[in-house]
Every structure is written in C-alpha cells, then in structure tokens.
Chain A
Amino acid sequence: MSSDLTRMTATEIAALVAGGETSAVEVTRAHLDRIAAVDEQVHAFLHVDTDGALAAARSVDERRAAGEELGPLAGVPVAVKDVLATRGVPTTVGSKILEGWRPPYDATIVQRLRDAGTVMLGKTNMDEFAMGSSTEYSAYGPTHNPWDLSRIPGGSGGGSAAALAAYEAPLAIGSDTGGSIRQPGAVTGTVGAKPTYGGTSRYGLVAFSSSLDTPGPCARTVLDAALLHQVIAGHDPRDSTSIPQPVPDVVAAAKLGATGDLTGVRLGIVSEFVGEGAEPGVMAAFRESVDALTKMGAEVVEISCPTFSYALPAYYLIAPSECSSNLARFDGVRFGLRVGDDGNRSLEEVMSLTREAGFGPEVKRRIMLGTYALSSGYYDAYYGQAQKVRTLITRDFTAAFERVDALISPTTPFTAFPIGARTADPYQMYLADLFTIPTNLYGGPGISVPCGLSEGLPVGLQVMAPTMADDRMYRVAAALESAVGTFTPPAL
C-alpha cells in the first residue's frame, strides 16, 4: 500500500483520506519512507520535518473523525521550497548565511497550507537565494534530476520539482522570479505554475527581487497544481503588493481543459522563441504539441513580440539591482551568521567578513552587478534603460493578448544538462531562463506542462496568459495533458 500512495495524485490521495479509506498518517508515513529510501540519491530536501508532518497528519485524522468538514487537499503531503519562512522549522534559502535559522513566524502561504489541512513534509533544496537555474548554487550541494541523476533538476526550485518527480511528495511549493518554478517543472517532467504577480502573497518569502518574486504551485498533474493554487492564492493584507481581487477559478478551468475541447481558444506561438534558440529535440516535442492543441480545436497563429529578445538582459539588470538592495539586510546583526566579531573589529568589518563567508559566488556576483547598475553614472544606461525595456515588453504582451487568449512557447531552450556543464560561465546558466523571463517582467501568469521527451529527457510547454487570467493557462495546460499524458521517470 505504501508505495501505491506515493504514486497517486493529490486529488486521489485527498479522496481516499476524505472517504476514510486511508488516513493522513498512513499517507504521510508512506512519503516519509519514500524520502528515506531515495533522497540520499536525489537530495531534494534540505530538512525533513518528520515529527511536524506526523503531528499535522494526526490532527487531520482527528478532525475528520470528529466530523469536521475538511478542505479539498486535507491530508495531502506537500514539500515547501526553503525560501518560505516556517515557524520553528529551519529556513536557509539554500545559503550558509541563514544556516540554523528557525523563523519565529509562518509565511502567509505556509499558514494557508496548514489551514487547508495539508501536511508539510519538509523544506526543499534551491539555488542560494533563488539565484540560479540548476540548484547547483545551493550552499548545501546540488539536487539530482530523478530522470538522470547526473543531470540538473532545474532551478532555482530544483528540490521541489525533483521531490515530485521522485515521488517523494505529490505537491510542492516553489517561487518564480525568472522561471524558478516553470524551468524545473520542464526539465523534470512535472507541472509548475507561476501565478499572476500579486496573486500569491510574498509575506514570509525571503526577498530576492521584490517586483518579480512570485510563489506558486508545483505538482505532477495540472488539476493538482490548480487545487494547490486555489489554496495558497488570494489577497493578503500583509503584502501591500497583493492584488485585492478574487482568485480566478483555476480548478474549474483545469477540469474544463481536461475535457480536451479547445474550440474557440486562440493561441499565439511567440515567433522569437521558436527560431534557432531552442534545441531540435525541444522544438520537435513543441511542434507535436501544437498539432495536438490544434486538433482539440484551438486556433493557433504565430505572433511576433520583438522586445522579448531583450528580456534576458533587462532581467539581469533589474533582478540584481533589487537583490543588491534586498540582501543588504543580511548584516550579521538581527539573524543568521556573524563572522569575525572578536571584540576589536568594527561593525563594518564584521559585516563584510560575515557577508563574504555567508554568501556564495552567484549571490556575490549579483549583488555587485546590481550595485554597479544602480551607481550614479551607470544608472541611466543600465537600470533605467532596463525599466524602459520592461515597459516595452509589457506592451508586446498587451498587444498580443488583443489577438489571442494565451501565448505558448517551449518552456526552456534545452533539456536537463549535466551537473557542472554551465557553472564555469555564469551567462550560459542565465540562458536557461530565456523563455520564462518575459512573463515575470510583465507580471502575468505562466505554466509549464510536460509535452514530450527528447532523447529520454522531459520537455515542457509554456502557456502565458494576461494578468489575473490564470484560469486560461490552466485550461490550455490541462487540455494538452489530456492529449499527451503524464511522463514517468525510470525507477530509482
């Protein structure tokens, strides 16, 4: 029974728990056993909260026994990216500078997960401060892709995606600043959705680039992702950038999409992203998926979004600029590491030694890059110009959405690459997010759904929708899933 439970979708598990055919404790034990069996190879988790998970599961079982009405995901285990504050449970952001930190409060999303009766299994590995596309920049060692353990699981949320693909958890939470939910989803054959910016609360999310950071759901099926989206999304008075509007009905949209009927849906292929930028195997899987979407009744056209080609350089000015400001809070005073405080050194010396010891190379690069882009004399040419390009990218999206309901592209230019292949040249790493970044600059929602294999490795298709029209992307993704099915990695 144990191994069966880990192979089920969240929807199936929730139904079994609700019907009393299994207990939340049994489900949780099955996943903890699976983690114990395979995570030494995968390294998806930085911390497994065995006691907390079992206590949460027992509470769900007790509430059910008492006749309490439980939510649609009650009793379902979830893995949480280590970027979200979890009360009393270690939160490192993949960095040595926060090693051992136990937050005194829960992020809003974590609180909503608890309120919904989901069971948090633990915290997943990530590139340090969510800066990276491979999870290799974690200070605690890389995560391995369950499809091929010698390859990367994507990043920054590689731990969450790998936990799903390795059947260690049926649901996971990620955060997407430039593709950190969607790109790991694509390269692990799982579903990853970036909600509309402001659609999910950032309260308790360790900040990297505040105008871009968006937490969101990860799952093995589109419907499961939608159910998780519904639980975590919605206005939060504690986040002043949170949108005070109702959450689009993403669950209904996923169910509608699963009927396989896309009659009347207009889709635009982003011309700039189907040229020579993507690997042939990725393009082949994408083209086949476009045929499938067309067969289901979608009207598919090509749409040029010329400024999307400048999204990557604009992003690598805007995100590091915001990061250089946000990470100033790591000063060795209020939380985390302090190095070199021998009673003689000044505050400034201790601060510099602490940050030098606590941050890894990619974080240092981005802090310095952002400091440069914001310096007087360079501001107009770099940060200021990047913000203008951001306006033009938004205009390209707006114009496209006058002609089509959603845009589509491959999620990533290439499939999972070997661990170590791109770390020597940071800019080569940045290219992994070439197709996902425009959405973040615009602020709209995007989802990656598995669409095929290339040489045995998963390929993802990305659906991008207008802001607060997250339901549209779930409909298209669920339709594609109904046509191509889900993909199972080789047994570990």
Chain B
Amino acid sequence: MAAISREEVAHLARLSRLAVTEEELDTFAGQLDVILQAVAQVGEVAAADIPPTSHSVPLTNIFREDVVTPCLTPQEALSGAPDAEDQRFRVPRILTEDVAS
C-alpha cells in the first residue's frame, strides 16, 4: 500500500508554498512514497523510553555583552531585495481589495 497519496502530496505542496505542476505531482507522489517507506524503518527501533536528541552541542542560553557594533546600512540590507521602496522591502499585496472604499 502506498504510504502517501497524490492528494496528500498536493496538500504538502500547498503547505510548502510550492506551485507544483500536475506532472510534478505525479512524479513526486511516486518518489515520496518510496522515500517514506524507506525512512519508516526508524519505527523498527525500540525507543519508547529514549529521550530525543535535537542537537549534539549541549549549549543553552548563549549570551553576549550588549555592545553596539557596526551593522549593515539600509542600502546594503536592501541590496539583494527584488523590490524596495523608501528604505523598505516592497511586497505584493497582502490583503484582498474587495473592501469598498
């Protein structure tokens, strides 16, 4: 039985903000199914009482002195932006425009 359906892959693509094509959906559904069946092997390991490891370095709460240091100018910070205006990143519209003005 397949581990993942074409519809689930379409849902994942939406969650991932990827406007995938119908053709890609066919390909990815098959490939992700193979991968998921393989990685599901982790379930064979008896680990119910084992603590999880998220990170190999046991460091927490790293602080530094609150010292002012040089940083990027607005021009430098915006130098890679696809669009900028008035020292700000310009974005496509966020709200729908069906509100009567």
A391 touches B50 (CB 8 A): yes
Known: A355-B17, A372-B12. A334 touches B81 (CB 8 A): yes
Chain B residue nearest to A370 in the complex (CB): B16
The reply to whether B53 and A390 form a contact with Cβ atoms under 8 Å apart is yes
B1-37, CB under 8 A of A: which get 1 and which 0? Answer: 0001000110011011111100010011001101110
Q: Which residues of A contact B9 (CB under 8 A)?
A: 368
Interface residues in A100-156 by Cβ distance below 8 A to B read 101-105
* Min CB–CB distance B51 → chain A (angstroms): 6
The answer on a CB contact under 8 Å between B36 and A369 is yes
Closest to B77 in A: A104
B35, B59, B81 interface centre (most CB from chain A within 10 Å): B35
Tell me which of A216-224, A307-315, A471-479 binds B: A307-315
Contact B16 A211 (CB under 8 A): no
Q: How large is the interface on A (under 10, 10 to 19, 20 to 34, 35 or more residues)?
A: 35 or more
Q: Contact at B93–A347, with CB atoms within 8 Å?
A: yes
B68 in contact (CB, < 8 A): no
Bound Cα distance from A391 to B49, whole angstroms: 11
Question: B45 on the interface (CB 8 Å rule)?
Answer: yes
Q: Which residues of A contact B53 (CB under 8 A)?
A: 387-388, 390-391, 394, 441
Q: Smallest distance from the beta carbon of A396 to chain B beta carbons, Å? A: 12
CB of B44 closer than 8 Å to a CB of A: yes
Contact of A332 among B59, B82, B93 (CB under 8 A): B82
Which listed residue, A197, A348, A389, A391, touches B17 by the CB 8 Å rule? A348
B19 adjacent to A356 (CB under 8 Å): yes
Given A102-B80, A353-B19, A427-B34, answer yes or no on A317-B39 (Cβ-Cβ < 8 Å).
Answer: yes
Question: Are the C-beta atoms of B50 and A341 separated by less than 8 Å?
Answer: no
- B49-89: CB near A (< 8 Å → 1, else 0) gives 01111111101001010000000100011011111000001
Does the CB pair A341–B57 fall under 8 Å? no
Contact B89 A365 (CB under 8 A): no
Contacts known (A332-B82, A394-B53, A443-B56); A388 close to B45, Cβ less than 8 A:
yes
Smallest beta-carbon distance B3→chain A, Å: 9
Within 8 A of B (CB), among A386-402: 386-392, 394
A294-325 interface (Cβ within 8 A of B): 307, 310, 313-314, 316-317, 324
B99 at the interface (CB under 8 A from A): no
Q: How far is the CB of B23 from chain A (nearest CB, A)?
A: 11
Number of A-B contacts (CB under 8 A): 177
A456 within 8 A of B: no
Q: Let me know if B100 is at the binding interface, CB within 8 A.
A: no
Given contacts A104-B80, A372-B12, A427-B35, contact A307 B45 (CB under 8 A): yes
The distance in angstroms between the C-alpha atoms of A350 and B39, with both chains bound, is: 33
Instruction: Give min CB distance, B65 to chain A, whole Å.
Output: 10
A340-380 at interface with B (beta carbon < 8 Å): 341, 343, 345-353, 355-356, 359, 361, 364-365, 367-369, 371-372
Q: In the complex, A348→B64 CA distance in Å?
A: 37
A149 to B32, CA, bound (A): 31
CA distance A394 to B56 in the complex (A): 9
Q: Which residue of A lies closest to B63 (CB)?
A: A240
Q: Which residue of A lies closest to B39 (CB)?
A: A313
Q: How far is the CB of B89 from chain A (nearest CB, A)?
A: 5
Determine if A368 and B51 form an interchain contact, defined as CB atoms under 8 angstroms apart.
no
- Complex Cα spacing A243 to B62, Å: 11
Interchain nearest-CB distance for A368 vs B (Å): 4
Closest Cβ neighbor of A306 among chain B residues:
B45
Give Cα A337 to B55, complex, Å. 32
Residue of B nearest to A240 (CB): B62
B101 at the interface (CB under 8 A from A): no
Considering the complex, give the chain A residue whose CB is closest to the CB of B96.
A346
Q: Are A367 and B18 in contact (CB-based, < 8 A)?
A: yes
Q: How far is the CB of B11 from chain A (nearest CB, A)?
A: 9
Cα–Cα, bound, A136→B98 (Å):
47
Instruction: Give the residues in chain A near B40, CB-CB below 8 Å.
Output: 313, 381-382
Tell me the smallest distance from the CB of B82 to a CB of chain A, in Å: 4
Closest 8 CB pairs of A and B: A443-B56, A387-B52, A338-B82, A335-B80, A388-B47, A104-B76, A356-B19, A352-B19
Name 9 extra pairs, CB < 8 A, besides A198-B59, A364-B18, A427-B38. A338-B83, A346-B94, A348-B17, A355-B19, A368-B9, A384-B52, A392-B47, A394-B56, A426-B34
A-B contact pairs, 13 of them (CB 8 A): A104-B80, A243-B57, A313-B39, A332-B82, A334-B80, A336-B82, A345-B93, A346-B92, A364-B20, A364-B28, A384-B52, A391-B53, A392-B45
